[in-house]
Structures are given as structure tokens and as C-alpha cells.
Structure 1
Amino acid sequence: MQDQENQEVSQPIDGEGEANQVAGTPALNELEQQLSATEAKLAEMHDAFMRAKAEGENIRRRAQEDVSKAHKFAVESFAEAMLPVRDSLEMALKVEAPSIESLKEGVEMTLKQMTSAFEKNRLVEVMPAQGDKLDPMKHQAVAVVPADQEANTVVNVLQKGYMIADRLLRPAIVTAAQAK
């Protein structure tokens, strides 16, 4: 009899088993829908990631090409500005019987063209005046000489220096005053 009672307890009551089966099916369908929605969103995110990665690579490649072109053609504007200087020098050499005055005038005009080309391309002279404080970032002292001025100041300029924009191209070669 006890076995019979156990069987009755373990046996579902009429209709209860069917209710559990029916109730489990919608939950399973809902989970499957959530899974497929999540998989679709994952695929969409992966696609967006791959597109962003490709776009990043394209930007990097274009930037490298731009830098390469900038290096390759950096002197283009300076070369264009220097062409009239070359033309003037070639014309001066073609003159059959130049006079000293015409040569001097031609050299002065050519120097003006060159100065204009330098200015257009931000090439600036470094020409310290006598008595200016020695600046090791712009001046190169090749000798220290006794002078009647403050120590470490420019006494004489032996050669001009040049800067491009804010970068030193060549320092001015100077002699500096010796400490007393």
C-alpha cells in the first residue's frame, strides 16, 4: 500500500504535466528569440568594428602618402622662387661685352630676386650686431678676442647664419669678447 501511495505522489495529477510542457515551450521560444537577436546584434557590431578598422587603416595609409608627398615636394616652392635667379644669372653670362656697371647692376637685381625667394620661403638671416649677447642657439663663436665690451658678446661677424621658420639652418660664425 505504501508503494501505491508513492506512485500516486510521483504521478502527476491529470493535466498538470501537460501544463508544465506547454508553459516550458514559450519560455524556450523566448530564449531562442533572445539568442538570435543577440547573435544578430553581435554580427552587426562585428561588421561595424571591421568597417571602423578598415577605415582606420585607410586613414593611416593616406596620412603616410601625404607625408611622403610632403617630403618629396617640400622644396617645390623654394625651387620655383629660385628659377628667376637662375634665369638672371644665365642671361648675365650671355651678354657679349658686359661693362662693370652692367654686371654690378645685374648682380644687385639677382640678389634682390634671391632675397625675395628667401623671404617667401621663410629663410631668415641671422646677423647679430656688434655687442649683442652671444646666443649659442644661433651663433658659433670660433674665437675669443680681447675687446672693450662685455664678455661673451659678439665682436665681429665672419659669416651670416640662416634660419628656416624657427629652425636654425646655419649658425652665424662670430668672434666673441673675452672676459676681462
Structure 2
Amino acid sequence: MTDETTASEDLREETAAKAPELAEHDAAEELRAEVEDLRKQLLYAQAETQNVRRRMEKDAADARAYAATGFARDILSVADNLARALAAIPAAMREDEGTKSLVAGIEMTVRELDNVFQRNGIAKIESVGQKLDPNRHQAMVELPSDAEPGTIVQEMQAGYMIKDRLLRPALVGVAKAG
């Protein structure tokens, strides 16, 4: 036998003797890797559950805050009609003793409606004198004016916000350039 053959046989015997230890070591490493993988999966699942919970809480809060949106849009026409009624009353009728209480009643109704809007987070958009904001205003016409171009010079219909969302854009007339 040569020295190479003897060395090769010695290496085989040594490897065979250590094989159970290596097999146990490999199995332990596999188990550690599997445990780590399962731990990561658990953390991802917990994070996803937390994200879903937050999203549901936000959706529920939005539903509570904006639940009256449809009703609010419908009631805006009532507010518009009351404002038109007040604007149509001539000064002589306002001073007439026979109609003075009717005018006062309409004014009180408008004030109460404004209070209800305020309590429910509905606010009128201030338009005249402001720059046109396409997120809040809808330009209906350009008007000759001394104001800077793009400035709102006339409001045809009031716009409203509910909390931080647009309920109805204001219909406006905008100053045109030169």
C-alpha cells in the first residue's frame, strides 16, 4: 500500500466516525433556519393584521364623519332656496309691519340651518376675492374686471365643505385677463 492509499483510507474512516455528528449538526442548522423562517412569517402576519385593523378603524371613522354627505348635499338646495327667498324680498316688504315677522322667520330659519351645518362640520367656502382653486371652485364665466386675472369676482352658487372634503364646488365668475 502506498502512502496515498493509507491517507485516503484514514480520511474515510475519520469522516465515517464524524458522520453522525455532521448529520446532527446539519439537522440542527435546518431546524434553526426553519424556526427563523417561521418567526419571520409570524412577524409579517402580525404586521399585516395590525395594518388591516388600522385600515378598518380609519374606514369606520371616515364612515362616521362623512355619513351625512348624501343628506347634506340634498339639504343644500333648501339653503339655496332660503337665501334666494331672502334676497328677493324688497326693502319695502322688510319694513312693512304685516310682513316683518315673515321675513324675521325666514332669517331665523337660515341662521338655524347655518348652525346645524356648523355642528355637523359643514362649512361654506369663501369665494369672492380669492384665487380660483379648481379643487373648491367651478368657473362658470370670465368677467371683465379690474381684479387680477384668475380672481373670483362673482359667486353664482355657494360651495360647501364637509370636514376636509368637498361637498359641492362654488360656481363662480372669474376676472379675465386684459
Question: Shorter-chain TM-score category?
Answer: 0.5 to 0.7
Q: Does 1:150 align with 2:147?
A: yes
SS state of the match for residue 49, structure 1? helix
> Matched residues in 2 for 1:75 and 1:166: separation?
10
Alignment of 1:54-133 (within 5 A): 54-70=45-61, 72-76=63-67, 107-129=106-128, 132=129
CA apart distance, 1:53: 3.9
Render the CA deviation track for 1:77-120: whole Å, top value 9, x for unaligned. Answer: x58xx8xx9xxxxxxxxxxxxx9666655554444443334334
CA apart distance, 1:37: 1.7
Gaps in structure 1 of 5+ consecutive residues: 1-5, 86-98
> Matched residues in 1 for 2:168 and 2:39: separation?
52
Taking structure 1 as reference, are residues 62 and 26 closer, same or farther at Cα in structure 2, changes over 3 Å only?
same
Q: Larger Rg: 1 or 2? A: 1
Report percent identity of matched pairs: 26
Q: Calculate the aligned-residue CA RMSD, in Å.
A: 4.2
TM-score of the superposed pair, with normalisation by structure 1: 0.53
Letter in 1 for 2:22: L
> Matched residues in 2 for 1:144 and 1:39: separation?
75
> Matched residues in 1 for 2:62 and 2:114: separation?
24
CA apart distance, 1:11: 9.9
1:135 aligns with one of 124, 132, 135? 132
Alignment of 1:5-24 (within 5 A): 21=13, 23-24=14-15
> Matched residues in 1 for 2:104 and 2:155: separation?
26
Gaps in structure 2 of 5+ consecutive residues: 76-97
Tell me the matched-pair count: 147
Preserved CA contact (<8 Å) 1:150 1:179: no
> Matched residues in 2 for 1:100 and 1:41: separation?
89
Taking structure 1 as reference, are residues 168 and 73 closer, same or farther at Cα in structure 2, changes over 3 Å only?
closer
Q: In the alignment, which residue of structure 2 is the partner of 1:37?
A: 28
